[in-house]
């Protein structure tokens, strides 16, 4: 038996559908990525949104994105540095910052948001919650999603705004071989890393992508919006890959130096 989990991240939706970010229609690219995701995966057991759903303090983007989703699909939500966590809780309720069970797999959403800051932090309380979930189901396989990254991706500017206690978090997870992988957003690019037995995956944004290995902020005009999928098997094995939209001119502002 297998389960399909899809991860969409860093949608950066705005208060109005008519607004643009770095010249890009983020709502349109999200709609396209979602449509491709649903077409490529007719059956989805869990759809995960790993932060920066919104780029504004309005509740409207959360309400709109909820309306896009097909009925009956299980969802899991966590905030990014651009999100308003309380608004997410108001809209997504019990599916925000919790865990889900898929057969022998336990999938947990971790909160790495530091209110008012760009970098991330996993609190002792949040880490204890994750450890409790693992210890309560020690024979299950475990995985987690969070917004910020735990391992460097090679871009100096964004590696200064990762999880600021990443070393302590990874060290605390060492004793748990049941944890198969952790996946994040935030970095707007595909990246794979390894720490001890843990596989760590970064997932592209549904809007603009960051240029890999860049010392300063830069947009990768050649990389298209996308999402990541996981296929989970009851023996603990899994497969994962990144899916992207067809190549097109997105109209991104080439001179942008931040957002």
pLDDT in tens, 165-196: 999 999 999 999 999 999 999 999 999 999 99
pLDDT band at 42 (very low <50, low <70, confident <90, very high): very high
Measuring CA to CA, which residue among 67, 89, 65 is closest to residue 79?
Answer: 89
Asked whether residue 155 carries a pLDDT value surpassing 90, the answer given is: yes
pLDDT of residue 139: 96
Strands 105-109 and 179-184, bridge-based pairing: unpaired
Beta strands in 2-90 (DSSP E): 2-8, 46-49, 75-77
Mean per-residue pLDDT over the chain, rounded: 96
pTM as predicted: 0.97
> 3 near 43, Cβ under 8 Å?
no
Share of the chain above pLDDT 90, in %: 93
Fold for domain 2-244? Answer: Purple Acid Phosphatase; chain A, domain 2 (3.60.21)
Backbone phi and psi for residue 222, each to the nearest 5 degrees, phi listed first:
-90, -15
pLDDT of residue 170: 98
> 242 near 183, Cβ under 8 Å?
no
pLDDT of residue 25: 96
First to last CA, the chain: 43
Asked whether residue 258 carries a pLDDT value surpassing 80, the answer given is: no
pLDDT of residue 249: 85
pLDDT of residue 9: 98
What are the extents of the domains in the chain?
A: 2-244
């Amino acid at each position: 038996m297998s389960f399909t989990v899809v991860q969409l991240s860093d949608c950066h939706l705005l208060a109005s559908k008519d607004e643009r970010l770095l010249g890009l229609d983020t709502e349109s690219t999200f709609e396209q990525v979602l449509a491709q995701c649903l077409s490529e995966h007719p059956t989805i057991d869990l759809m995960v949104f790993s932060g920066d759903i919104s780029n504004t303090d309005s509740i409207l983007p959360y309400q709109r994105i909820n309306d896009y989703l097909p009925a009956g699909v299980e969802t899991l939500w966590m905030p990014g540095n651009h999100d308003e966590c309380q608004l997410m809780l108001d809209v997504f309720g019990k599916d925000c910052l919790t865990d889900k069970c898929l057969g022998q797999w336990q999938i947990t959403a971790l909160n790495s948001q530091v209110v008012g800051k760009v970098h991330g932090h996993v609190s002792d309380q949040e880490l204890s919650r994750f450890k409790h979930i693992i210890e309560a189901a020690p024979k299950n396989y475990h995985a987690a999603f969070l917004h910020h990254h735990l391992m460097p991706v090679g871009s100096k500017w964004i590696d200064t705004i990762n999880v600021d206690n990443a070393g302590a978090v990874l060290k605390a997870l060492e004793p748990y071989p049941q944890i198969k992988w952790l996946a994040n957003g935030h970095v707007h690019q595909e990246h794979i890393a390894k720490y001890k037995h843990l596989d760590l995956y970064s997932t592209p944004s549904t809007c603009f992508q960051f240029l890999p290995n860049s010392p300063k902020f830069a947009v990768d005009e050649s990389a298209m919006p996308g999402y990541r999928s996981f296929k989970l098997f009851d023996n603990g094995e899994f497969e994962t890959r990144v899916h992207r939209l067809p190549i097109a001119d997105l109209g991104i502002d080439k001179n942008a130096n931040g957002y």
